[in-house]
Amino acid sequence: MSLLDRHRRREVTESQREWIRVREYLMARRHELGQLAVDLYPDTLKVADTALLSRPDWLPPEPIQLPDIDLTFAPDEPDTGMAPDDSATDPLRPVRSDGSRYRTYSEVMADLTAPPVFENRRTYRLLSADLTGPRGAMTFGRGTYFDGIDLGESAAHEYAAHHLDGTPMPLRRAIGDPCDPTRRPTNMAISILTIREDRASGEATFVLHWRDPTKVGHAGGLYMVAPVGIFQASDDQERK
């Protein structure tokens, strides 16, 4: 069932209908669009022969053991970068039937395309990282899950619309360097490659999982290692 079919029984504005059309395109072609979008950043460092963007101080010359990474928590670090309701995101936040515009991209998703679990729990936001020495150093501040949705998914949506119809991309221009954590929220995620060795045959395999775009809010339509995910606490109770 398409997203438009899901809303056939409710009043949907033309603005909402257009948003749904682009969102469906993004969900169906996320990997392809990600591969194409890398061409927007010809001067940004790529990881090996992939389309993954990075920066020199994020790439260690050799693997670093987890205990050799110094982690710093900066709870009072002020928020920086763009606001989710910045004017550059206006075209990505449609207008409701009462004439009001959604305040954030996550608010649009919650109303029109929310997956089964879509909660704005706390996360840790990357503020800086240096992994070039024998020891690594990473600094994190407070964040929320929707921080990444509001600008990250907005930028993905904008590029999908550009690829579909050639529409301008003011949000990407406003963000600038995609690897600058001061320009947009970068939530901490954990990716673990789980290798299974068959001792009888000597063969090794690993598991991939497909992120069903109807069930996840981030990176839907992609294959990833398992387990993987943005780190969130099980609840938002304060810990002392």
Backbone angles phi, psi at 184, to 5 degrees: -150, 150
Question: Is a pLDDT exceeding 70 seen at residue 20?
Answer: yes
How does residue 3 score in pLDDT terms, banded at 50, 70 and 90?
Answer: low
The neighbour count for residue 225, using CB atoms within 10 Å, is 14
Question: Is a pLDDT exceeding 70 seen at residue 43?
Answer: yes
pLDDT at 117: 87
How does residue 240 score in pLDDT terms, banded at 50, 70 and 90?
Answer: very low
Residue with tokens 């809010």: 217
pLDDT at 69: 97
Residue type, 13: T
Question: Is a pLDDT exceeding 70 seen at residue 213?
Answer: yes
Question: Is a pLDDT exceeding 90 seen at residue 234?
Answer: no
pLDDT digits (tens, 9 = 90+) for 214-223: 888 888 888 9
Share of the chain above pLDDT 70, in %: 93
pLDDT digits (tens, 9 = 90+) for 54-97: 999 999 999 999 999 999 999 887 777 899 999 999 999 999 99
CA torsion 46-49-51-52 (nearest 10°) is: -50
Q: What is the rounded average pLDDT of the residues 129-143? A: 94
Question: Is a pLDDT exceeding 90 seen at residue 200?
Answer: yes
Alpha-carbon span 95 to 17, nearest angstrom: 10
Domain ranges of the chain: 3-230
* Residue (of 119, 115, 141) closest to 211 by Cα position: 115
pLDDT at 220: 85
Backbone angles phi, psi at 54, to 5 degrees: -155, -170
Q: What is the rounded average pLDDT of the residues 117-121? A: 90
Answer whether 20's CB lies under 8 Å from 4's CB. yes
CA torsion 79-159-178-219 (nearest 10°) is: 80
* Residue (of 55, 35, 36) closest to 47 by Cα position: 55
How does residue 7 score in pLDDT terms, banded at 50, 70 and 90?
Answer: low
